[in-house]
Amino acid sequence: NFNTTTIEVYPNPAKDILTIKAPTAIAEIKISNLLGQEIITKSNLSSQENINLSHLTKGSYLVKTTVGNSVKTVTILKQ
């Protein structure tokens, strides 16, 4: 098992494209607003994914990334 700090989410703040990078395949990515409503859900992904955020309104979002048994949640700012 690895440390969740090896899961990278960048850039932050993001404009259109958010990149999520992990040491192994990403099981699931969920992006939700601060009210907990899921906006984007993707699963069975490669170890690096580009997520298009251009349709989202400006503000803060929670990005929950699941890799194996590890879950990392970060807050990003959409510009």
CA-angle at 45, arms to 40 and 41, nearest 5°: 15
What pTM does this model have? 0.93
Share of the chain above pLDDT 70, in %: 97
Give per-residue pLDDT as tens, 7-20: 999 999 999 999 99
Computed over every residue of the chain, the mean pLDDT equals: 95
For the domain made up of 4-78, give the CATH fold. Answer: Immunoglobulin-like (2.60.40)
Residue 1 has pLDDT above 60, yes or no: no
Higher pLDDT, 53 or 4: 53
Give per-residue pLDDT as tens, 34-47: 999 999 999 999 99
